[in-house]
């Protein structure tokens, strides 16, 4: 990803910034499109992962829909050119203002997360003389085997309707003339790498659609959510196993004639396409610890501090000295590696990207790449400490 010309270019730029390798994004989108189209599956991009304008434009051009979790995401998707007929609106706390915006936009579907939300959408749709198309987000109590902060499908999570509430949901739907039931929706978590989890999810979906049809509600849409993980440890292995992922649902999901199967992928589409590029401000050598103090911190990439997430860290200024080809270090580097705690400039003790990172001896001004930062990176940036917002640089500029 970082050849000599790219590194020379970076040296002329003010850091920190997000670097988007658009060819990586393009190859990822092509792989997902090919694998999902084989089975006629519909993919909506989870906009919360990354709403960089160039990224959105490319995803839209590949024909994906948009999965939104706020009114502003709905507006951004439509403004970007995602067809409103391909926009879905999820989220456990939709405000009246956001619901009205989506109703006016005539989006494809609301993914509804509570009985009370059903009543609110019905009331607001009635006031506009509209019919709101809805799917019920069901909490299937499936353990995604991922970090507990990004698990969403267990009984103790705030998301979705619990199975024991489904009869109340069905009774409420019968009393809401301004709602059109389309189907059922699930999302059990993020950064899921064990595909066996999705086989268990398929079993739950099959049971739930049979239950709704037994209640007299034909299920037209099976929305399985997303959560497919990526390889943070080998960032140059930049294509997720879309073939294996979609094949699980082809094998184990009971798809009936006329039904549509929908997915909401975010991280798997954009995670590998970006790196956070930073400079070393100071090197602090101690008796027990060596620190690299970067000009990027938790204001630019909060995942390591928030989720204890791993991102591979590379000193790209020293690549030539290490005999690096691509991102793989030759067996006999020309100098020893040292251990550093790689930290940011923010006045918080948690502002640490990673401890004991093995890097070549590093110096003030060296360029550092924090890899696989295309998902939940730039979108979660803040102005804490009154810092400037991070900018973006593209491979094809």
* Strand 260-265 to 42-46 pairing: parallel
Q: Which CATH superfamily is domain 4-17+272-394 in?
A: Lyase, Ornithine Decarboxylase; Chain A, domain 1 (2.40.37.10)
Q: Which residue has the tokens 């494809």?
A: 108
CA gap 118, 135 in Å, rounded: 10
> 311, 290, 289: which is closest to 300 by C-alpha?
311
CA gap 132, 177 in Å, rounded: 10
* Strand 337-343 to 324-325 pairing: unpaired
Strand partners, 394: 20
Domain ranges of the chain: 4-17+272-394, 23-270
Contact 136, 169 (CB under 8 A): yes
Mean pLDDT, each 10-residue run in order, the chain (397 residues): 91 97 97 98 98 97 98 98 97 97 98 97 98 95 53 56 94 98 94 92 95 97 96 90 97 97 98 98 91 98 95 89 40 70 97 97 97 97 96 93
Kindly tell me the burial class for residue 259, based on how many C-beta atoms sit within 10 Å of its own C-beta (0-12, 13-18, 19 or more). Answer: middle
Helix (H) or strand (E) holding 74: helix 71-80
pLDDT at 114: 95
CATH class of 23-270: alpha beta
pLDDT at 397: 81
pLDDT at 69: 97
Give this prediction's pTM.
Answer: 0.91
CA gap 272, 131 in Å, rounded: 40
Kindly tell me the burial class for residue 186, based on how many C-beta atoms sit within 10 Å of its own C-beta (0-12, 13-18, 19 or more). Answer: buried
């Amino acid at each position: 990803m970082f050849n000599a010309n790219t590194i020379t270019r970076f040296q002329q730029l003010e850091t920190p910034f997000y670097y988007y390798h658009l060819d990586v994004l393009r190859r990822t989108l092509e792989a997902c499109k090919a694998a999902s189209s084989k089975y006629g599956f519909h993919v909506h991009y989870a906009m919360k992962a990354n709403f960089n304008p160039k990224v959105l434009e490319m995803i839209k051009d590949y024909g994906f829909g948009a999965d939104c979790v706020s009114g502003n995401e709905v507006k951004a998707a439509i403004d970007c050119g995602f067809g409103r007929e391909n926009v879905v609106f999820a989220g456990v706390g939709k405000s009246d203002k956001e619901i009205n915006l989506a109703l006016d936009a005539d989006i494809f579907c609301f993914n509804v997360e509570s009985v009370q939300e059903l009543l609110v959408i019905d009331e607001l749709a009635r006031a506009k003389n509209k019919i709101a198309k809805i799917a019920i987000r069901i909490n299937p109590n499936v353990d995604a085997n991922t970090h507990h902060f990004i698990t969403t499908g267990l009984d103790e999570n705030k998301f979705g309707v619990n199975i024991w509430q489904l009869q109340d949901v069905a009774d409420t739907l019968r009393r809401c003339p301004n709602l059109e039931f389309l189907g059922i929706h699930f999302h059990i978590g993020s950064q899921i790498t064990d595909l066996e989890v999705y086989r268990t999810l398929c079993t739950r979906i099959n049971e739930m659609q049979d239950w709704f049809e037994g209640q007299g509600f034909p299920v037209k849409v099976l929305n399985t959510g997303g959560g497919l993980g990526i390889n943070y440890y080998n960032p140059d292995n930049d294509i997720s196993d879309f073939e294996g992922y979609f094949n699980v649902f082809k094998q184990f999901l009971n798809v009936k004639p006329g039904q549509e199967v929908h997915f909401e992928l975010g991280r798997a589409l954009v995670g590998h396409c970006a790196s956070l590029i930073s400079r070393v401000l100071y090197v602090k050598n101690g008796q027990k610890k060596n620190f690299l103090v970067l000009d990027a911190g938790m204001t630019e990439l909060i995942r390591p501090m928030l989720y204890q997430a791993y991102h591979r860290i590379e000193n790209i200024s020293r690549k030539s000295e290490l005999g690096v080809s691509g991102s793989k270090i030759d067996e006999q580097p020309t100098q020893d590696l040292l251990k550093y705690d790689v930290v940011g400039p923010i006045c918080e003790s948690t502002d640490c990207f990673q401890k004991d990172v093995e890097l070549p001896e590093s110096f003030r001004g060296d360029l550092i790449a924090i890899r696989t930062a295309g998902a939940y990176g730039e979108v979660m940036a803040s102005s804490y400490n009154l810092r400037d917002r991070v900018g973006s640089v593209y491979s094809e500029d």
